[in-house]
Amino acid sequence: MKQPSTDPSLQRVGFGVVITLVAVSVIIGGMVHATNALHVAASQPTPALISTLSDVPAKLPPRDMLAVQGKRIVDGDGKPVVLVGATDYSLEFTCKGDGHFQLADYQAMRTWGMNTVRITLSSAFWRNLDGRCADYTATVTAAVANAEAAGLFVILALQWDAPFSLPQDATNGGAQCPLPDAKYDVQFWQDIAEIYQSDPRVLFDLFSEPHDIDWSEWETGGMITSACALYPLPHTYQAIGMPALAMKVRTIATSNVIILSGLGWGYDLSGIEASGLAPTSNVLYGTHPFNHTGDNQQPDDWPRAFGSIAASLPVIATEFGSYDCQTSYNAKAIAYFEQLHVSFIAWAWTAGSCDVPSLLSNWSGTPSVPYGVYIRQQMLKLAAKS
């Protein structure tokens, strides 16, 4: 989650690479205010890990067999499924996270009517850069197991990366670069795909918030020079295009749902709409509407940014929230998501302040007022309908 830096001159381009992948049926799915949250995360306990890997049953019940059919997510019986949940963040910028990845944490999410948790990750921690984070993969896989044990679907999202392998990346998890890099981030997703290729309860959010690029770069990658929204000086790295990364994942995990986010820190999907994409296989397109001060992510821009594409392609709001911690923006957002039959994941499952913004007033699951209270009410109403 990050305030977007949108270039209005960006042009919509075609997606020949994506269409080719569709034709052969192998295409596939802001920076958090970490400075304000690091002191909170550092003070939290290490999670109790119930296992190192998710124990996938030989045959899951149909309700757990997620797939994308047309514009909708469906289960194994073809019944439409709306994913509703929250992002459980912190593992992107601290090695052990905030410690709240236990079964009880995810059971508390269930009491809100949630059926999904989104967990944001760092590829630098995953590869144990400089030997500073040896337990990270065990922490992540145990968090997934705990969430599934509570009855949640799990979205794993690459939020921070570290293509330059700078000394500070080993301790802070990297930063948010404009696109995934062609080496470390590819290996990260190949590892994840190997682990969860037989578990349709796990969805892959390949790169949370592409930014400061155009649609041509989104499609094809290339050499990117950027300070990655955190470093004092820009550096250059080889980025991979989102369709190519999706194809690399799909060669391993043939059936997991994949999520692809748009430009403007994951908000703008309008270039995908203009490309005239044919229906795709098990792909969702992610959007991130927030009421940042001075940006264009307001309700009157939603039809352009992601509403129009939702008429023809499957869309999910993988992040959304309100920085004033009030209800007006969220009420309009949730109503619009429901109108579009779009799944939504609120930001964020943490006990903190409005600068995050936080859904919780404490870690027992008590909602913040009025932000968390309103979102909890809406989630429970939706759960009662399903």
Residue 366 has which token pair? 């008590």
Q: Which residues of the chain have pLDDT under 50?
A: 3-55, 276-279
In a domain, 288, yes or no: yes
* CATH number for the domain that contains residue 99: 3.20.20.80
Local structure of residue 369 (DSSP, 8 states) = T
pLDDT for 57: 53
pLDDT for 325: 86
pLDDT for 276: 46
In a domain, 332, yes or no: yes
- Count of structural domains within the chain: 1
Please, are residues 101 and 138 in contact by the beta-carbon 8 Å criterion? no
Identify whether 210 is preceded by a cis peptide bond (ω within 30 of 0).
Answer: no
Residue 27's contacts (CB-CB under 8 Å, 6 or more residues apart) are 18, 21, 243, 246, 247, 250, 280, 281, 283
Q: Name the residue range of residue 251's domain.
A: 31-385
In a domain, 239, yes or no: yes
In a domain, 10, yes or no: no
In a domain, 70, yes or no: yes
In a domain, 9, yes or no: no
Q: Count other Cβ atoms within 10 Å, centred on residue 346.
A: 28
In a domain, 376, yes or no: yes
Please, are residues 314 and 68 in contact by the beta-carbon 8 Å criterion? yes
pLDDT for 346: 98
Q: Of 126, 124, 122, 144, whose CA–CA distance to 136 is shortest?
A: 126
- Give the angle subtended at the CA of 64 by the CAs of 367 and 80, to the nearest 5°: 80
pTM over 0.85: yes
Residue 125 has which token pair? 């921690």
In a domain, 6, yes or no: no
Q: Spell out the long-range contacts of 227-236 with Cβ–Cβ below 8 A and sequence spacing 24 or more.
A: 228/174, 228/175, 228/176, 228/177, 228/178, 229/2, 229/31, 229/175, 229/176, 229/177, 230/31, 230/175, 230/176, 231/164, 231/166, 231/175, 235/163, 235/164, 235/166
